[in-house]
Structures are given as C-alpha cells and as structure tokens.
Chain A
C-alpha cells in the first residue's frame, strides 16, 4: 500500500515575494503568509 506523508498546503496567494532572501545559512524555507497559522 501507499500512504501520503506530506503534501503542500494550498496557497491563497502565490508569487507575492514576501518571503526572505535565500542563499550565510528554498528547501528550508516556509511561506511567510502560511506561517502568519499563527
């Protein structure tokens, strides 16, 4: 059998550019809008 471990949250807004710059320490990043869950 196959089971899902994780799938992306559907985003209401995409491409807003609000997220942090990435490089000094994308794969680790979380969407600022989704985080703003808080």
Chain B
C-alpha cells in the first residue's frame, strides 16, 4: 500500500511570555527560543515602543536568519502503512485496585484473564509481517499488571528476538509495572531485556495510599517503595521512569515530585489524572492552582540543577536543538496505523486506551487482517486535522494531544480537550525556562 502524504501550510506565530522577570519569545515556525528585555517583548507584541537602532538590527538579523517570524513552510506527516510498535496486554488482571485506573482496575471492562503464549507469539508474527522495511520494532508489555504473567513475557521476548533475527530486525522491549511483584530474578531480567521500565508510584505515602490500594483495600506504598528503590539501584544507566498520577486531591503535587527525588529517584514523571470520578477529576477551576504548582516545581527544579543536584522531570525536558523533524511533529503518535494494542484474546485496538471498546476493535492477530476503514481514519488523523490546534504555540511540541483522551472527553479523536491543553502549555513554558536557565549557566 502506498504511503499517504498530504501537504498543508503552517501558519507562523510568535509566543511571547513572561516567567518571573524573564521575557521569552518562542518562534513557532522555526522552533527557536529567544530571550529579550521587556521593551523588545512589547515591541514584538505590536505595541508602539521606540527601539534603538541596535535593538532593531538584532531583530532584523534573526528574521533574516529565519529564527523570528519564520516564513510559512509545508510539512508532510509521516504516514506509512508499516507497523512499528505493539502494546501487548499480557495481563487483564491486576494485584492493585487503583481508584483512577482507566483500565477498570486491570480488567478493561471485561473478564480478568492473562494472554496465552500462543496469542503473544501470534502478535509478534503479526508485527514482523506488517512491519515492512522497518528494522527496529517496539513491544511494550502492559496490563493490568504484566508481572502477573511473567512467564509469557519472558518467552515472548525470547521468541521475538529469535524470529526478528531471521529477518534482520531487532526489538526494543519496554514495560510498566506497579512494582508489587518485583524480585531479584525479575530485576535481573528487566535489566537484561527491557530498554525502558516504568514504575508506578504517586509520591508521598498518604497520597499514594489514598488511591493505589491492594485487593484488600489497604494502601500499597509500604509494599512497593523498597522494591522500586532496589530496582532503581540495580538499573545502572539504563532508562527507567518512576511515574505517578496526581488528582484533584493533591494539587500540591510538586511535593510529590520532590518527595520522589528526595528518595533517590532521578527520572520522574507525574501526570494529571484522566478520569471522570468526581472527587479525583481535574476540572477547569483547578487550573490556576495547577499552573502555580508547575511554577513552584520549576523553580525548585532549576535551583537543584544549579546546585549540582539535578533530577529529570519528564515534562521539563524539551529538546529544541536535536528534537524530531517537522514531519514527525505533525504526525502525532501513530495509534491505529503504526501502533496497536493487542488484548489477551488477540483482538487488536488502536492503542491501549481504546482496548475493550467494541467500536474500535480493528481485528485479531489470528485473523491477520485489519479494519482498513478504521485504520484510514486514524492514519489521516494528524496535527492538521485538529483545527483547534492551528493557532496554538505548542502544537509542534504536543502534536495535537492524545487521540484517546480527545475521544473520551469530546467524542472525536480530532477534538483536543481544553484542560489538557492548558496544562501542556504551562509545562512547555516551564520547560523553556529550564532550558534558558541551563544555557545561561553553561555560558
């Protein structure tokens, strides 16, 4: 099947914002970040400010270099029909009962079951068959709790490596775990085979225990914290993330990020909850507090980095110099076209967040064919089909957000959810400030 290409013009814009006493100018067209004085910022906003010849020539030089008010350009989304990644739901069961779980506490609104090795192998065969010329493929072991089906995970890794080698393809394996079943043998296996491991931990004990409960209804913090620490100590320089969720109950979430950092975790992510549970859901009235909290975290983040005690907070890392090309930035995540999830019975869905929704079932790994009409709908979806994103400064950093979140909130994969957008924009501004402070220190 030929690759799909579409050409769409990109509209230029400057995003001029203040962070404390700093004035930043982000040029959306070129992806460049500048810092300026208050008068120049006002001038660039179109206010009647008389700049000096020197100030005007500096602006003119940037325009000439294409770094300010960059000219309109065109981009073509990467839309091949080669599959590059699978999310294998090796367990639709979980040993925790987290209140906010989008996966219905692991069961995905269906029966609790685990994936058989035969299904996992059929999924690998599907990926190898549909991956075309791709040489590097990705498999994520997901759940539920993947460690409840560790035997199948191990055998699937072995099978994928063997079959991939025959075709000159290699695999990157990743997984997400709540850490409850981590032991020495599993840690060794993860460190040998998993390119990235995500461990779920929400921060302070009282915050974690309020939402992440065992099957018996008890908090799980004490049962997992030492196991996760042990894993991270053994991880060396390989990738991992301690990844938490914040809800309306802990809008002071900077304390949770710093708690994790103070406990020796140097690669941290904390995400806003996606739920409609009334006492947990993030609502519009929470946004001012959340934006202030991101600034509080950002200030401490910069301070610790300056003192030589840095840690990585996922959303404050932004690569403006070596980041992806424009084609990638407009292509979004590839769910439903290049990336699929496979549930225990072999059914295929656009991604893990659509799993179990009959409307989005795309096929089965034992059938070997996909619902091409549904696939085309996802293949066409990109930044340019999300009209609300057109005037947003962060569009090439966010790529139009998450199709599943858009669908679950607005009923349309191309309709961004405004609350998520506002949080994203604030995080991007903080990330730009972090980058500017780092560059300033390097000088």
Contacts and interface: CB of A to CB of B under 8 A. Distances in A.
B334 interface: yes
Interface string A16-38: 01111111111111110011010
Interface string B1-45: 000000000000000000000001100001111111100100000
Contacts of A19: 324, 328
B322 A37 contact: yes
Interface in B131-186: 134, 136, 138, 140, 142, 172, 174, 176
B34 A4 contact: yes
Contacts of A31: 322-325, 328
Contact of B327 (A1, A14, A21, A22): A14
Contacts of A20: 138, 172
A8 B31 contact: yes
Nearest to B316: A28
A8 B32 contact: yes
Contact of A2 (B30, B40, B78, B315): B40
Interface stretch (B111-119, B230-238, B428-436): B428-436
A29 B319 contact: yes
A5 B322 contact: no
Contacts of B333: 21-23
Interface in B38-69: 40, 54-55, 58-59, 62, 67-68
Given A1-B37, A24-B176, A29-B319, A7 B31 contact: yes
B84 A17 contact: yes
Contact of A9 (B172, B317, B322, B352): B322
A24 B140 CA distance: 9
Contacts of A26: 323-324, 328-329, 396-399
A1 B435 CA distance: 19
Contacts of B37: 1-2
B399 A7 contact: no
B311 interface: no
Chain A interface SS verdict (over half): loop
Chain B interface SS verdict (over half): mixed
B398 to A, nearest CB: 6
B30 A8 contact: yes
Contact of A14 (B85, B174, B326): B326
A4 B323 contact: no
A21 B338 contact: yes
B339 A29 contact: no
Contacts of A28: 314-315, 317-319
Given A22-B333, A25-B269, A8 B327 contact: no
Contacts of B326: 14
Nearest to A21: B85
Contact of B32 (A1, A6, A22, A24): A6
B253 interface: no
B34 A5 contact: yes
B437 to A, nearest CB: 10
B340 to A, nearest CB: 11
A34 to B, nearest CB: 4
Given A6-B33, A7-B67, A21-B334, A15 B59 contact: no
A15 B3 CA distance: 12
Nearest to A15: B327
Contacts of A34: 322
A3 B319 contact: no
16 contacts: A1-B40, A3-B58, A4-B32, A5-B35, A6-B320, A7-B30, A8-B30, A15-B325, A17-B78, A19-B328, A24-B176, A26-B397, A27-B398, A30-B322, A31-B324, A31-B325
- Per CB-CB distance, the 10 closest pairs between chain A and chain B, nearest first, are A15-B327, A14-B325, A2-B36, A27-B397, A6-B320, A21-B85, A7-B32, A34-B322, A26-B399, A5-B33
Given A7-B30, A29-B323, 7 more contacts: A1-B37, A5-B439, A6-B33, A23-B351, A26-B396, A28-B318, A35-B322
